[in-house]
Chains A and B, each alone.
Chain A
Amino acid sequence: MSDKMHIKLTVNGEDKEFLAEPRDLLIYALREKLNITGPHVGCDTSHCGACTVTLNGKSVKSCTMFVAQANGAEITTIEGIGSPDALHVLQESFKEHHGLQCGFCTPGMITRATKLLEENPTPTEEEVRFGMAGNICRCTGYQNIVKSILAAASEINSAKEAAE
């Protein structure tokens, strides 16, 4: 058994400190040590995207990163994007446009989509599909996921225009 490391993370704006083995994966640290269960374990191999979080401003698959590599990082999970009482525009959009069925991929999808819209606030449908290619959904056939993201983008942009 390896020696444990002292890990510090800022997760959804809160400072967290805990001990972990160097080989522990970030997803298990989040789920088992911090009880943050929004990011899911789907494939264990970074293909499905159910575990997607934002780490220091980048979309990261937390199932293939050691928590030791994340030491000191700022992390946002689905829990930090909105809450049932205060939904983010993308969350509202996925709900209203039926961008989900079983819901297992949804936290990763929305976490990735928030970054996508930061990287490119006015994506075309093609760009949404390309930008979401690392997140797998087995239920919806993606039609409503793409629709949800495009609708959210246009809502965010009209809100911005109105503010200017």
Chain B
Amino acid sequence: MSVTKPLPHDSAKLHVTGTARYVDDIPVPADCLHLAFGLSDIACGSIQSINLDAVRAAPGVTSVWLAGDLPTDCDCSPSVHDEPLLSDGQIHYLGQPVFLVAATSHTAARHAARLGQIEYSPEPALLTIEDAYLAGSQFGDAPRIWERGTAAPAIYAAAHVIEGVLDMGGQEHFYLESQAAMVMPQDGGDMLVHSSTQHPSEIQHKVAHALDIPMHAVQVETRRMGGGFGGKESQGNALAISCAVVAAATGRPAKMRYDRDDDFTITGKRHDFQIRYRVGTDESGRIEGAEFLQLARCGWAQDLSFPVADRAMLHTDNAYFLPNVRIESHRLKTNTQSATAFRGFGGPQGMLGIERVMDHIAHTLGQDPLAVRRVNFYDTPETQSGRTSTPYGQEVDDFVLDELVTKLADQCDYSIRREAAAQWNETNPVLKRGIALTPVKFGISFTLTHLNQAGALVHVYQDGSIQLNHGGTEMGQGLFQKVAQVAASRFGVPIETIKITATDTGKVPNTSATAASSGSDLNGMAVKAACDTIRDRMATHLGKNVQFEGGSVVVDGSAIPFAEAAKRCYESRISLSATGFYKTPKLEWNPETGQGRPFFYFAYGAACSEVVIDTLTGENRILRTDIIHDAGASLNPVLDIGQVEGGFVQGAGWLTTEELIWDDKGRLRTHAPSTYKIPACSDRPDIFNVSLWDGQNTEDTIYRSKAVGEPPFMLGIAVLMALSDAVGACGDIYADLNAPATPERILKAVQKVRDGI
């Protein structure tokens, strides 16, 4: 069986030789036009006049478009039709595309795009969470509120009341390959689109809408992305639409790739959040009532902010039973880039809130933070004390975290090292150590229930080779290899027999984004269904007792090579092509009431991180991290461990070095890697132990595996909590360290804890 094997990435050989093609590597026809946007210089206001003479006169420029020149409004929104491709006269953020330039080269287009003369009538911009909250600027008629029990009286009656505020910044995706698209005009006005996107069907839909043609006239192909992380779920729409508009108007191919600066300036990022909390606990630190106010900065357009903010609410509990809880969520509208999907999709923000609460309780009660976490855990399947229901009513019936955390704490000597850190801190006045162990429970499924479907198309050729296509996209996570492993296992053939082709809306229609960690769950099952259809047809034709194994088809005990079996079936006019379809069972969810079963199952994990900080400078290092992560019965352990390691480092980056700074005019000042610091090779923990939990999914998923794309991101929370622990060693006040915990913030927190300033 190919499943469970640690096979390399399907394109590994191409990647290591530089021969794997990304959109920008596809050879372009000689008459291809290259596009760039002219961007707004203010964050809020209206356009008084535009003079584009210099743009038109610039070398290489062939044409320039303003909103009025477009065939339609060319809406780019994935949700509520509120994102015209080019400004309609109103400016909503600094960096908003105002005009589109087509030129004979990428560089010529970019040079020309800087030459626009635009006069504005500026208006006051709402930039921060505080600004927007005070101004009541939000999406939706009212905040979303979900309640279970009666939080306020429970808090009032509790032995201890703890309250605080946590601010956390957003995060730039920094996929190494910036957004890119290329469109080739076809016969009769049809369009062939190459797009670096997680959502080819969305690109197809938006391009068709922009040109006012049916979806069948648009074919979108995506072989791979150079990283996505959620940033290519909706943010590629503008490029594909622009290319299609230019291709339709000129009859020439068109290509657009954002320069890194433009990518930072134009595209959405992770939502910044402020979370205000008030909880009441008993003497052991067990929560009796909790109230959370979640303020999400959504930017200028709605994009995916509603489901993101919902998922933040759905992860307010993380691993902890909250008997009485009230969660209020505001989706704030600001004059900044429209915040979008990013690995975890709001889950990390919601989860960080309750993890901060756990540490705050532990500090107030003078207890070990891990002990407080454990006393608040959901029931294990064995304990049965009535603590299994999430605030939204879904039962947690496979809670492995108690056992997993025990194992991790033992393996990494948590208690001994915590004691050693305390002793170190007694004797060292400048360098302080901190350690934290935090769990993750992450819900798996799209919360918009209809998205939980997938299709696949499988062909067996007469030489026994197999071609496979499905709706998922490859962005480095190894989805194609996992799905190929499923197909190889179903047919009992070596993995080399299977070829996976580029994701193509012409092969599998109406796909969902490769997002919500659901890629292998959904597409693996769809591929299995398609393979089994063909297998059943072959078996029925070949004999009674038929098995597919070891590269052969065994019929009544005698083996025929798979290729021979395929040939025989072909010659007997058996169809060797099939589609497969899957929809996730058991889901039932009402986001209005906040009740139901939004998730098919939960993925679990835990991380323990130890850090050291310099209390004179705020500089810090991760000394050691130990992780155990639950991927169910892993389809491919090396790919899964790769997701865990990469997810942790990206999560730690979000909470430490990755800081987005807008100035008071609304200009993003950290718009390049020179000022926006993502983790480098030397930032990884000195000691880094990662293993997978030995278990299998209790739900019937593909070979009992679990989704692994997003959950490990939240293991990075352990780093922020460890830093906070280290700061706490400087005095008696609770170190309410905000994120990202840059050296400056750590230094400030040290001064507050040590000197009360």
Contact = CB atoms under 8 A, between A and B. Distances in A.
Do A and B actually bind? yes
Interface of A: 1, 28, 31-32, 35, 37-45, 47-48, 50, 77-79, 81-84, 87, 90-92, 94-96, 98, 100-107, 110, 128-130, 132-133, 135-146
In the A-B complex, the 4 residue pairs with the smallest Cβ-Cβ separation, listed nearest first, are A38-B18, A102-B476, A104-B226, A103-B15
B226 A1 contact: no
A100 B177 contact: no
B684 A129 contact: yes
Nearest to B646: A141
Interface in B253-297: 257, 259-261
A1 B638 CA distance: 52
Contacts of A95: 8-9, 12-13, 15-16
Contacts of A135: 681
Contacts of B478: 101
Given A79-B17, A107-B18, A102 B176 contact: yes
B59 interface: yes
B526 interface: no
Given A84-B19, A103-B224, A138 B477 contact: no
Nearest to B17: A84
B9 A142 contact: no
B12 A78 contact: no
Contacts of B674: 45, 47
B17 A78 contact: yes
A100 B12 contact: yes
Given A141-B649, A142-B684, A143-B688, A104 B176 contact: yes
A83 to B, nearest CB: 6
Given A47-B673, A95-B13, A141-B645, A79 B18 contact: yes
B24 interface: yes
Given A77-B18, A84-B19, A103-B226, 4 more contacts: A98-B8, A98-B642, A104-B175, A141-B648
Contact of B678 (A35, A79, A128, A138): A138
B221 to A, nearest CB: 17
B639 interface: yes
A144 B261 CA distance: 29
Given A42-B177, A48-B176, A133-B681, A100 B9 contact: yes
Contact of A47 (B224, B227, B672): B672
Given A45-B673, A50-B176, A129-B681, A91 B17 contact: yes
B27 interface: yes
Contacts of A98: 8-9, 12, 638-639, 642
A44 to B, nearest CB: 5
Contact of B177 (A81, A102, A145): A102
A104 B227 contact: yes
Contact of A106 (B16, B229, B645, B672): B16
A144 to B, nearest CB: 6
B558 interface: no
A40 B257 CA distance: 13
Contacts of B680: 133, 136, 142
Interface in B650-707: 650, 672-674, 678-682, 684, 688, 690
Nearest to B261: A44
A140 B476 CA distance: 9
Nearest to A143: B645
A84 to B, nearest CB: 5
A146 B9 CA distance: 17
B65 interface: no
Greatest chain A CB density within 10 A among B173, B257, B648, B679 is at B679
Contacts of B645: 140-141, 143-144
Nearest to A21: B107
B570 interface: no
Contacts of B681: 128-129, 132-133, 135, 137, 142, 145-146
Contacts of B688: 143
A30 B27 CA distance: 13
B225 interface: yes
Given A102-B476, A103-B11, A106-B15, A138 B227 contact: yes
28 contacts: A31-B24, A32-B105, A38-B18, A40-B24, A42-B260, A78-B18, A82-B17, A84-B13, A84-B14, A84-B19, A92-B16, A94-B12, A95-B9, A95-B12, A98-B638, A100-B12, A101-B478, A102-B175, A104-B175, A129-B684, A132-B681, A136-B678, A136-B680, A138-B646, A140-B645, A141-B647, A141-B684, A145-B681
B403 interface: no
Contacts of A103: 9, 11-12, 14-15, 20, 224, 226, 476
Interface of B is mostly: loop
Contacts of B20: 103
Contacts of A141: 645-650, 679, 684
Given A42-B176, A84-B14, A138-B176, A102 B475 contact: yes
B22 interface: yes
Nearest to A78: B18
B25 interface: yes
B672 A101 contact: no
Contacts of A146: 681, 684
Contacts, number: 183
Nearest to B175: A138
Interface residues of B, number: 61
B174 interface: yes
Given A45-B672, A95-B16, A103-B15, A1 B59 contact: yes
A60 B309 CA distance: 44
A39 B682 contact: no
| Most chain A beta-carbon neighbours within 10 Å: one of B22, B673, B681, B690 | B681
A38 B17 contact: yes
A60 to B, nearest CB: 16
Nearest to A38: B18
A38 B649 contact: no
A91 to B, nearest CB: 4
Interface string B505-541: 0000000000000000000000000000000000000
Contacts of B22: 40, 104
Contacts of B19: 38, 79, 84
Interface in B161-199: 173-178
B429 to A, nearest CB: 27
B127 to A, nearest CB: 26
B259 A44 contact: yes
B683 to A, nearest CB: 8
Given A133-B682, A143-B645, A102 B225 contact: yes
Interface string B469-496: 0000001111000000000000000000
Most buried by A among B21, B174, B645: B645
A96 B619 CA distance: 36
Given A98-B639, A141-B646, A130 B682 contact: yes
A28 B27 CA distance: 14
B103 to A, nearest CB: 13
Nearest to A92: B16
Given A44-B260, A136-B673, A138-B176, A37 B18 contact: yes
A70 B645 CA distance: 38
Nearest to B105: A32
Contacts of B27: 35
A101 B646 contact: yes
A84 B105 CA distance: 31
A102 B13 contact: no
A35 B25 CA distance: 9
A105 B647 CA distance: 17
Contacts of B15: 94-95, 100, 103, 106-107
Contacts of A77: 18
- Scoring A35, A105, A135 by chain B CB atoms within 10 A of each residue's CB, the highest score goes to A105
B18 A39 contact: yes
B181 to A, nearest CB: 15
A109 to B, nearest CB: 9
A41 B19 CA distance: 15
Contact of B16 (A45, A110, A139): A110
